[in-house]
Structure 1
Amino acid sequence: MSAEWGLFSGGRWSPGVGVAEVRNPYTDEVVGTVVRASPEQALEAARGLAGVRSELTAYDRSNILTATAELLHRERDDFASTISQESGLAIMDARREVDRAATQLRYCAEEGKRITGEAIRTDVTSARQRRLAITTREPIGVVCAVTPFNRPLNQVVTKVAPAIAANNRVVVKPSEKTPLSAIRLVDALLRSGLPPDLIALVCGEPGELVDALIHSGHIDMLTFTGSTRVGRLLAASAGMIRQTYELGDSGALVIMADADIPAAVAAATAGAFATSGQSCRGVKRIIAHEDVADEFVRELAAAASALVVGDPGDPATDIGTLIDRHAASEVEARVARAVAAGARVLCGARRVGAQYWPTVLDHVPRDADLVRLETFGPTAPVIRVKDFPEAVEVVNDSRYGLQAGIFTNNLEHARRAAELFDVGAVVVNGGPQFESPNIPFGGVKDSGIGREGARYAIEEMTRVKTLVI
């Protein structure tokens, strides 16, 4: 990636205040260099967006997003290679991410055509006012999209596509660890016809740049995906602008005594280990009924042991690296503390550099920080419970509440789980990793505020105006 890229402002790629290297977590080789922006340049980018108004029609925006999806499809291998090289993600996971991003773009392209209001009669009081109120949804203005290192393409698309569909202007601040995919996406949007004065991109240290943006007076909405700690700091600082936060989780998968064990094992394997366990909606706690726990953990350990850990660029690799050595070391330390507290390792618990082997643990104490905190790594910690009420108690004994899954053939347990699990979504006979572009995605408690998902993100990124005639 050219060192001239990394700051897009005022409709052009511009020089910044320095250059940052992007390193491959597997080889530690430099795979790209990007321009770093100063806080003043970030502020100028926001000011430039605030000074323009989009004249694109819904048809125009749909065509741009569709063309971008088609471009991603044509350049799938290049995008996937960029994702894998900058994040350490296995290439097969990276290819799936490109496909998901293209699907998001296509869905937002269609959903943007369906932004509508309603007509409301006002003769509902004793005043008998025979008027008609008509509501419309207008773009909120300038959206600041701050994205994390995991899924570095799709996380940006999840915010930028609905922002464009809703006719907003958008400034993107990608993770300083994985900016290359975001740069590629902005370039793809421009090549697909997006007017250059409707988007900006700034790379650099998140603290100073995001602070400059949200206090610039030119940002109308902040949409942030990242840690709960940073989300709380931003929420306390951002003031009266619209805000949505998609934060951490300790995603629970419940295995009841009547569960389909092979299906539950498949869901747990995919949810805990895909993308090297670095997924906000992944499986981070497994709550297994004691009657089937022995069978379940035995089969899960066998499935985990069969996964290939290796070079992320090798198509045969299932598990690449974590984002860096520090992240892998933190997972290693949490596993060690869980073992010291009584957990038993069935497989894995091995680290080399930034790689951590898929790890299954049984008899994990429910107060271990491996499960109390959001552990971003390929671990499958199993907590045993005696019945459904205890399973509900363990699920809800968390500061997080994004998504949860339950495997059961008992309709009453499924219904009660939907009612009692304190989370944003409950998946019956599936894992918390379930996703679809047309459903709402977001959590409760420390997992965030607001909803993503094409239609729901568009609603967050618009404001209602009422006309009375």
Structure 2
Amino acid sequence: MRKGLFSGGRWRAGSGVVEVRDPYTGEVVGAVARADRGQVLDAVRDLTAFRPSLTAYDRAEVLAATAGAVRAERDDFADLISRESGLSVSDGRREVDRAVAQLEYAAEECKRITGEVVGTDVTGARQRRLAITTREPIGVVCAITPFNRPLNQVVTKVAPAVAAGNRVVVKPSEKTPLSAVRFVETLVRSGLPARMIALVVGDPREVVGALLDSGGIDMVTFTGSTAVGKAIARSAGMLKQTYELGDSGALVVMEDADVPAAVAAATAGAFATSGQSCRGVKRVVAHVDVADEVAAGLAAAASALVVGDPRDPTTDVGTLIDEAAALEVERRVALAVAQGAEVLCGGVRAGAQYRPTVLDHVPGNAELVRSETFGPIAPVVRVTDFEHAVDVVNGTSFGLQAGIFTRGLDYARRAAELFEVGALIVNGGPQFESPNIPFGGVKDSGIGREGVKYAIEEMTRVKTIVW
């Protein structure tokens, strides 16, 4: 039986099949069971009927055991990620390492879920009572994840949900469901009660529609495009919701910056995961005094990257998720060139593969940089001073993370105050991540925060007991 529908504690036959193709070869690399509306509703119904009784210690044991199992199977997971997404296997290994770190940290954090004690004799009524707050699981968490990090995006949502004691239904991207299937298998094998989790794959509109209509979901946590996130929000009503959406991530390089360090950060942020990262570098905003050096350094670094078979361990950059995605990148680059941008290297597509591309003199209003462009592109936007840089950074509808390279405290302080983003990385790229810090954006980049501790807060509700 093809896996892909996990419900009621076991793998079930679906109403059809979803084929998964290798974006590099076009070959079918797997197939999963497709859930129809009725099967999705059944999965949620079973989750709501189950009442888990795991202690915090139990949950920590499960998460730690899962981390150990994923680490032991690192190469197998990385190979699976590469085959279903087209990412290089080296990108896949980094993703597995991130997933392990999140699981390990979640195992620690589930032991630190606490409340507080509040006195109530603070008004003229002089009521001497003692209020105690506790955090309890929110219930059933619906985790909807994208294609670009097939394992880590699932772990980002499932680990804190389990740490908080919730049941969870996972809806992975139908383009990359294989890693999610294997992770659910690993989680249950590591001791999670099988009825605490469900997994459903299928037509996104049908499956998500059924999840939202089921009446059994207590929270939706979504990572993906802004357009889809807004559509889900319109249908989710009074459910608790968190959204991690798109970005036009800016890396600002001021005239006093360590330019080689900035170029290295921009290279890593623009081209890792084939440029398909919500927190990646989408714009290099360079002061005119150093822009020539920045652009030349980026072009040299991009040209040195190995592009090829994603499963070859020497490959740095694999493919995009499919040819349609590569064609969209190609279209946006052509538009930017028509507006005056200059291609310094790359700009070549072959099927779903797009070579690492550096453009200089990119207009700040080009679609390439105003929208989220998912591809291995490093567009250089030149600015004349710090105020101009602020205008460029804030000149889109997004605000997830940004970076600034400067040797001066004043630029860093002012950027922290003026950049409209969820996080600012000083002398680093917007791709910075750590499982113990809050992650999320402002404006069209989302609502709520991830990062294990902060996701647990989102996935629990406060109850007050007054004595």
TM range (shorter): over 0.9
CA distance in 2 between counterparts of 1:53 and 1:409 reads 55
Give how far 1:396 is off: 0.2
CA distance in 1 between counterparts of 2:2 and 2:111 reads 36
Q: Look up the match of 1:281.
A: 279
Superimposed CA distance per residue, residues 353-408 of structure 1 (whole angstroms, 9 cap, x where no aligned partner): 00000000000011110001100000000110000000001000010000000000
Aligned equivalent of 1:345, options 343, 348, 353? 343
Correspondence 1:119 to 2:117: yes
Correspondence 1:76 to 2:61: no
Aligned equivalent of 2:310, options 309, 312, 337? 312
In structure 1, list runs of 5 or more residues that go unmatched: none
Q: Look up the match of 1:88.
A: 86
Q: How does 1:59-74 map to 2 (within 5 A)?
A: 59-74=57-72
Aligned equivalent of 2:455, options 457, 464, 468? 457
In structure 2, list runs of 5 or more residues that go unmatched: none
Give how far 1:141 is off: 0.1
Q: Look up the match of 2:236.
A: 238
Q: Across the two proteins, how many residue pairs are aligned to each other?
A: 467
Give how far 1:92 is off: 0.5
The residue matched to 1:114 in structure 2 has which SS?
coil
Q: Structure 1 counterpart of 2:159, which letter?
A: A
CA distance in 2 between counterparts of 1:142 and 1:249 reads 28
Give how far 1:207 is off: 0.8
Aligned equivalent of 1:442, options 440, 443, 448? 440
Aligned equivalent of 2:105, options 107, 132, 155? 107
Q: Structure 2 counterpart of 1:36, which letter?
A: R
CA distance in 2 between counterparts of 1:317 and 1:80 reads 14
Aligned equivalent of 1:147, options 136, 145, 148? 145
Give how far 1:39 is off: 1.0
Superimposed CA distance per residue, residues 160-194 of structure 1 (whole angstroms, 9 cap, x where no aligned partner): 00000000000000000000000000000010000
Q: Structure 2 counterpart of 1:297, which letter?
A: A
CA distance in 2 between counterparts of 1:333 and 1:4 reads 38
CA distance in 2 between counterparts of 1:130 and 1:333 reads 68
The residue matched to 1:5 in structure 2 has which SS?
coil
Superimposed CA distance per residue, residues 11-54 of structure 1 (whole angstroms, 9 cap, x where no aligned partner): 11001101111000001111101000001111111111011111
Q: Look up the match of 1:247.
A: 245
The residue matched to 2:110 in structure 1 has which SS?
helix
Q: How does 1:203-218 map to 2 (within 5 A)?
A: 203-218=201-216
Indicate the percent of aligned positions where both proteins have the same amino acid.
73
Q: Look up the match of 1:358.
A: 356
Give how far 1:410 is off: 1.1
CA distance in 2 between counterparts of 1:60 and 1:385 reads 54
CA distance in 1 between counterparts of 2:204 and 2:41 reads 13
CA distance in 2 between counterparts of 1:377 and 1:4 reads 32
Runs of 4+ in 1 over 2 A off after TM superposition: none
CA distance in 2 between counterparts of 1:444 and 1:296 reads 28
The residue matched to 1:320 in structure 2 has which SS?
coil
RMSD: 0.5
Correspondence 1:24 to 2:22: yes
CA distance in 1 between counterparts of 2:182 and 2:307 reads 28
The residue matched to 1:113 in structure 2 has which SS?
coil
The residue matched to 2:136 in structure 1 has which SS?
strand
Please give the TM-score of this superposition, normalised by the length of structure 2: 1.00
Give how far 1:4 is off: 2.1
Correspondence 1:168 to 2:192: no
Superimposed CA distance per residue, residues 110-134 of structure 1 (whole angstroms, 9 cap, x where no aligned partner): 0010000000011111111111000
Correspondence 1:222 to 2:184: no
Q: Look up the match of 1:399.
A: 397
The residue matched to 1:46 in structure 2 has which SS?
helix
Superimposed CA distance per residue, residues 394-432 of structure 1 (whole angstroms, 9 cap, x where no aligned partner): 000010000000000110110000000000000000000
Q: Look up the match of 1:138.
A: 136
Correspondence 1:295 to 2:293: yes
Aligned equivalent of 2:387, options 365, 368, 389? 389
CA distance in 2 between counterparts of 1:252 and 1:87 reads 25
CA distance in 1 between counterparts of 2:435 and 2:94 reads 14
Aligned equivalent of 1:186, options 184, 187, 196? 184
Q: Look up the match of 2:3.
A: 5
The residue matched to 2:43 in structure 1 has which SS?
helix
Superimposed CA distance per residue, residues 293-321 of structure 1 (whole angstroms, 9 cap, x where no aligned partner): 01111111000000000000001000000
Correspondence 1:58 to 2:53: no
CA distance in 2 between counterparts of 1:154 and 1:26 reads 21
CA distance in 1 between counterparts of 2:365 and 2:104 reads 43
CA distance in 2 between counterparts of 1:79 and 1:46 reads 28
